[in-house]
Structure 1
Amino acid sequence: MNHYDVADFPFKGSIGHLLGASALLKDRLLDKHLAHLDITAAQFKVLFFIGHERANTPAELCRELSIDSGSMTRMLDRLARKDLLLRQPCQNDRRSVRLHLSEAGQAVHAQSPQIAAAAMNELVGSLSREELRTLTGLLDKILQAHGVLPSDQPQENRA
């Protein structure tokens, strides 16, 4: 079903514009809630993915987070300088490294549920519980239609 017309496409106010602005706001709020740890939202996401074992190589992080390899290398360097991340040579392929959280990185990761909940509550604080459920349901529907989310994951775990 077509909802937009080429002749009068509303770049401002379109779903793409609103999703992009929402993503930027989410990262700004995360930055605010992470300031006391001296890490950014982007760095937090890297620690989160490593801590949840969703990625353990720079290449996997690049794919998961849609970040180019040069930017990822610089980010990993910063996290290593902050003693949050450890790089270990891969035993099977000495050209690659495995990423692990340091003790300090694990401490940050342990705080991730509280930090994420606080930032997301601030983000959606103007919505009622039902409005949030509707919004997440609609976004789930879009993402499932494009194969981005599995359809078997309960919605209440994503809201």
Structure 2
Amino acid sequence: MTDDARTVPAPDATPMARRTLLDLAVGATASGVGLLVLLPAVRFATPPAQPTPGARGSVVGRREEFGENTARVVSLDGEPVLVLALPGGDFRAFVARCTHLGCVVSYNPAREQIECPCHGGRFGCDGRVLAGPPPSALRELPVVVRRDEVMVVRG
């Protein structure tokens, strides 16, 4: 065989293909990080949905199943909802997602506060922010007690 019969790749073909692949990988990573940063900002900027008039309630339990100063998290339409049984027999319900980054909140009966485990956000039994990074109060949902059934209204 002679030297003329061998195929020699162009000197820039391999490095250019690697560089293009590297550029695409860096671009995709930067786009992914950008979306992760932007998503909470978009969720914060969009107004929450309000219950529609005449919406039906979902039964979350019977009055006697709730002890005083207790809470339970239930799932309504795939969204976590915190139902509080307050002293005096009153009930309140909130979307159980922290307004900071959307972590699921829980009730601390000893402190009588709703707490976010992610960044230490704390809310009062009325949903208002007491401490931490949450920018706004929890979204409250209407509660109706009918024939000893506790119902949360979703719009």
TM-score scaled by length of structure 2: 0.24
TM-score scaled by length of structure 1: 0.23
Looking at secondary structure, tell me which structure has more helix per residue: 1
Looking at secondary structure, tell me which structure has more strand per residue: 2
Larger gyration radius, structure 1 or structure 2 = 2
